[in-house]
Chains A and B, each alone.
Chain A
Amino acid sequence: DTAVSQTPKYLVTQMGNDKSIKCEQNLGHDTMYWYKQDSKKFLKIMFSYNNKELIINETVPNRFSPKSPDKAHLNLHINSLELGDSAVYFCASSPLTGLNTGELFFGEGSRLTVL
């Protein structure tokens, strides 16, 4: 009964391919996020959704397309993968959003390696 679960945990693929990462939370939270953690361990927000609506889009290339079919799920699709996309992608959720954002609950991460 993992609170925030993402799949796959590891993904190795070639440049130019398209791939997806899925995330689900069973905490009943309204807000979900995608963060990218690069090789220098810097954790950077990419997107945030609140009740299926996009509320944060942090200047991410449009090759990255998030989709939230319902408030418990947030998926990330990446087109035309590049070497620089190699990173660990963390999904997270929180009960509220904006200035009321409380603690974030993170998934285990999906390590993407682009060859």
Chain B
Amino acid sequence: GQNIDQPTEMTATEGAIVQINCTYQTSGFNGLFWYQQHAGEAPTFLSYNVLDGLEEKGRFSSFLSRSKGYSYLLLKELQMKDSASYLCAVNDYKLSFGAGTTVTVRA
């Protein structure tokens, strides 16, 4: 089975940095994904890590440590439009999602 944990909510100020942590315990592993979901919309792909280390994509970066079962998503230079739910998902023969972290960006 899978156990994927991430914080429920985070609040940050426009222009700041926020780090969303995700820990997982799965029977198999072939990659970790981060998705963004705005209220009332479909999840959209943000990043993918399969090897240890940091992947950077513009204002968003994602880190993976397979030995620790740990990942984080780093959002820099926060903008109001970044207010959304961020879902951590692990590929263990299928894509299983955490419950999501709701990020609220305040002016």
Contacts and interface: CB of A to CB of B under 8 A. Distances in A.
Contact of A108 (B33, B42, B85, B100): B42
A44 B33 contact: no
Q: Is the interface of B mostly helix, strand, loop or mixed?
A: strand
Given A43-B87, A45-B94, A48-B94, A103 B99 contact: no
Contacts, number: 53
Interface residues of B, number: 21
B44 to A, nearest CB: 7
B7 interface: no
A41 B28 CA distance: 24
A91 B44 CA distance: 13
A109 interface: yes
Given A45-B94, A100-B30, 20 more contacts: A41-B37, A41-B85, A41-B100, A42-B97, A43-B100, A45-B96, A48-B94, A90-B43, A94-B95, A99-B91, A99-B93, A101-B93, A101-B94, A103-B48, A104-B33, A104-B45, A104-B95, A106-B42, A107-B42, A108-B42
Interface of A: 33, 35, 40-45, 48, 56, 90, 94, 98-109
